[in-house]
Chains A and B, each alone.
Chain A
Amino acid sequence: MNLDVKKLFEEPSLIQITTWARGVIENKDARDVVFALANAGSKEGKYVQAWENYVDLPDRVGVPVRAYARISDEPLLSKYVYENEHPDVVVLTNEALVKGNDVLQGMKPGGVLIVNTKRDPEYILKFLKDTTYLGTIGCIDATEVAGHVQTLSGAEGATDASGIGVGVGAVLAGAVVKAKSIVKPENVLSSVQNEEACRYGYDEVRLVTVNTTFPEFKPAPKKPLGPEDLPFAGTVPSVDKENEKRITGNWRSERPVWSKERCTNCLLCWVNCPDSVVVYKTPEAADFTNLKYCKGCGICAEVCPTKAITMVPELDFED
């Protein structure tokens, strides 16, 4: 048989969709986006797959998690290895995910980025490192019209009884088909529970063209993992060291901001932080100096008796 293996895996009609979300609180929304689009694809007789990322498990509150879909006019022949390597569409259910995560990694030329945010596309672009292949960015305030749905049906095998697209998932799926006609909008509408929200996403998404011409697509070959890429095994060597291979600051949607004037040095924020972010340098002063591990849980602001700590949206800071 004369089979060109290289061509076999090119699959020109294959569309890859990757959704990023915050664990537990938005996991369902991420899954809803890819399920709604894959469902719509199957209604049109396309070949579809949708799944969640095993690498991101176990599912934890705030951890960046991903869900994927693949839609094609031809049978899907290539095997996926846990993730979409070259997404055509990337969706973020939370704006702060642009920080600390390489969300555009491997994107195909002319790719689309849809972000759930109140902010302007131009502002979001500031946080993206390499936009060479990004064709369009779209911003839509999905949280405004549909709340997040916290369910126990995270990525751990439970059933989901609440229906596809009852939360922000419907809005974002609507925005995706406006930006790129992967499937027919009416088929997405009939796949979601909250049709009104889906229509809102389609009508209201603010699309901005980023690039119209692209250099030749040469995805960097995947570097095999070496010993330096692996996290060190076992325990942390000393009390002064931190777990440098597991930075958790990119879990944060809101940042604690400390006001020295209001602080009475009661140390309640210090003792109640699960991630030792509040550093107790001297008995007189606690300080927020270790934000690279702050997951933004907000316990410190909650326990502060003088309201010296406030939680501010992470994207208000350009650092």
Chain B
Amino acid sequence: MLETVKTLRDMPKEEYYVPGHRTCAGCGPALVYRLVAKAAGPNTIFVGPTGCMYVANTSYGCGPWAVPWIHAQITNGGGVASGIEAAYKAMMRKGKYTGERPHAIVMAGDGGSTDIGLQALSGMIYRGHDVLYICYDNESYANTGIQTSPTTPWGAVTTFTPSGPAVPEGKRLWPKDNAQMIAHGHPELKYLATASPAFPVDLFNKVRKGLNAEGPAYLHIQAPCPKGWQFPSNKTIEMAKLALDTGMFQLYELEDGKYKMSYMPKERKPVEEFIKLQGRFKHLKPEHIEKIQNFVDQKVKAIEIEIAALS
């Protein structure tokens, strides 16, 4: 059992995701990775489906992990992790391995969890494997130069959804809510939470709770991306905080069939405060921002109703 912590000071000082990686200055996913590795500790195997956290971390044969790590295709992070978990269980049953079973953690991007890799994630949870699947959500295919993904917000500009005379708003589709999709359709799921680097202690504890759960766990972590969202690299934490304060992203956990909000802003800020700081939204007109505001209002309401019903 991994202990949860109360303050930053209780976190271990050891790093299992060490410096010397080729991620952007101010990279949100890299910060998330560091905290996840810190929470998981030394007895961990990371599975890295293709994405920024595979490509930027392993450029030219270097890897920043002080624990074992394996690359999986973007389609099959859940499958590879299932195999690792099942193999350890089998070896332990046969007496070929006597140590403590390592944690299996998938660190997949939003492409590897909500889009291309969704079937392997869903299959892994359906079969009940004891794996923690983490989606670090930077809201685009950032590694290949920012293409739209199912979690890219409506109205954001990517290289696949440029803003122009015919489509002034940029992206025209509303984003997928993967945490809700996983929560509703997978009875074997033992723990689910959303997290953000804006609250590192909360993130740290959710990783440990997910690992402590005896069965599949899913963590959806929003990870601001200075390259894709187009903001100065020192604003990563501010962006994460603003996403929560405006309701663009919500923090909650689902444990033993009960929902719990982890963070509720006292007064929700208008989404414009989040949007105006990012280059990917700079083309939006007031009527576009109003559309996003309506969407966020409805989403927040829906989650509050759900939480009231289930808790």
Q: A152-B157, A246-B21 are known contacts. Are A235 and B67 too (CB-CB below 8 A)? A: yes
B residues in contact with A233, CB < 8 Å = 61-63
Is A312 engaged at the interface, CB distance under 8 Å to the other chain? no
Interface residues in A240-258 by Cβ distance below 8 A to B read: 241-248, 251-252
Q: Interface digits, B214-231 against A, CB 8 Å rule (1 contact, 0 not)?
A: 000000000000111010
Binds A, one of B52-60, B78-86, B116-124: B52-60
Tally of contact residues, B, Cβ under 8 A: 59
Is B250 engaged at the interface, CB distance under 8 Å to the other chain? no
Least Cβ–Cβ distance between B203 and chain A, in angstroms: 10
Residues A299 and B21 in contact, CB atoms below 8 Å apart: no
Question: Within the assembled complex, what's the spacing in Å between the Cα atoms of A234 and B57?
Answer: 11
Q: Interface digits, A260-298 against B, CB 8 Å rule (1 contact, 0 not)?
A: 000000111011111111001101000000100101111
B residues in contact with A246, CB < 8 Å = 20-22, 59, 62, 64
Question: Within the assembled complex, what's the spacing in Å between the Cα atoms of A272 and B236?
Answer: 9
Residues B18 and A61 in contact, CB atoms below 8 Å apart: no
- Find the A residue at minimum CB distance from B64: A243
Q: A239-B18, A302-B238 are known contacts. Are A295 and B25 too (CB-CB below 8 A)? A: yes
Binds B, one of A5-13, A35-43, A104-112, A154-162: A154-162
Residues A270 and B8 in contact, CB atoms below 8 Å apart: yes
Interface-centre pick from A236, A268, A273 (highest chain B CB count, 10 A): A236
Q: A61-B233, A234-B63 are known contacts. Are A275 and B157 too (CB-CB below 8 A)? A: no
Residues B26 and A298 in contact, CB atoms below 8 Å apart: yes
| Cβ-neighbour of A299 out of B13, B66, B236 (below 8 A) | B236
Q: A61-B25, A152-B157, A232-B61 are known contacts. Are A238 and B19 too (CB-CB below 8 A)? A: no
- Find the A residue at minimum CB distance from B61: A233
User: What number of residue pairs across chains A and B have CB atoms under 8 A from each other?
Assistant: 178
Question: Within the assembled complex, what's the spacing in Å between the Cα atoms of A234 and B19?
Answer: 15
Is B34 engaged at the interface, CB distance under 8 Å to the other chain? yes
Is A219 engaged at the interface, CB distance under 8 Å to the other chain? no
Residues B237 and A58 in contact, CB atoms below 8 Å apart: no
Residues A244 and B20 in contact, CB atoms below 8 Å apart: yes
Residues B25 and A296 in contact, CB atoms below 8 Å apart: yes
Question: Within the assembled complex, what's the spacing in Å between the Cα atoms of A234 and B58?
Answer: 8
| Cβ-neighbour of B145 out of A62, A152, A239, A272 (below 8 A) | A152
Residues A297 and B25 in contact, CB atoms below 8 Å apart: yes
Residues B227 and A301 in contact, CB atoms below 8 Å apart: no
Is A3 engaged at the interface, CB distance under 8 Å to the other chain? no
- Find the A residue at minimum CB distance from B7: A267
Q: A231-B60, A232-B62 are known contacts. Are A271 and B35 too (CB-CB below 8 A)? A: yes
Is A208 engaged at the interface, CB distance under 8 Å to the other chain? no
Residues A302 and B22 in contact, CB atoms below 8 Å apart: no
Q: A58-B56, A243-B62 are known contacts. Are A299 and B233 too (CB-CB below 8 A)? A: yes
A residues in contact with B227, CB < 8 Å = 24, 59-61, 154
Question: Within the assembled complex, what's the spacing in Å between the Cα atoms of A154 and B27?
Answer: 17
- Find the A residue at minimum CB distance from B67: A235
Is B249 engaged at the interface, CB distance under 8 Å to the other chain? no
Interface residues in A31-58 by Cβ distance below 8 A to B read: 58
Residues A301 and B66 in contact, CB atoms below 8 Å apart: no
Residues B197 and A58 in contact, CB atoms below 8 Å apart: no
**Residues of chain A at the chain B interface (Cβ within 8 Å):** 23-24, 58-63, 150, 152-154, 156-158, 161, 230-239, 241-248, 251-252, 266-268, 270-277, 280-281, 283, 290, 293, 295-299, 301-303, 311
CB-CB nearest 5 A-B residue pairs: A243-B20, A156-B145, A298-B234, A297-B26, A293-B19
CB<8 Å pairs between A and B, sample of 8: A24-B226, A152-B230, A158-B159, A246-B21, A271-B35, A298-B233, A303-B237, A311-B234
**Residues of chain B at the chain A interface (Cβ within 8 Å):** 8-9, 11, 13-28, 30-31, 34-35, 42, 55-56, 59-69, 143-146, 157-159, 162, 197, 200, 226-228, 230, 232-238, 279
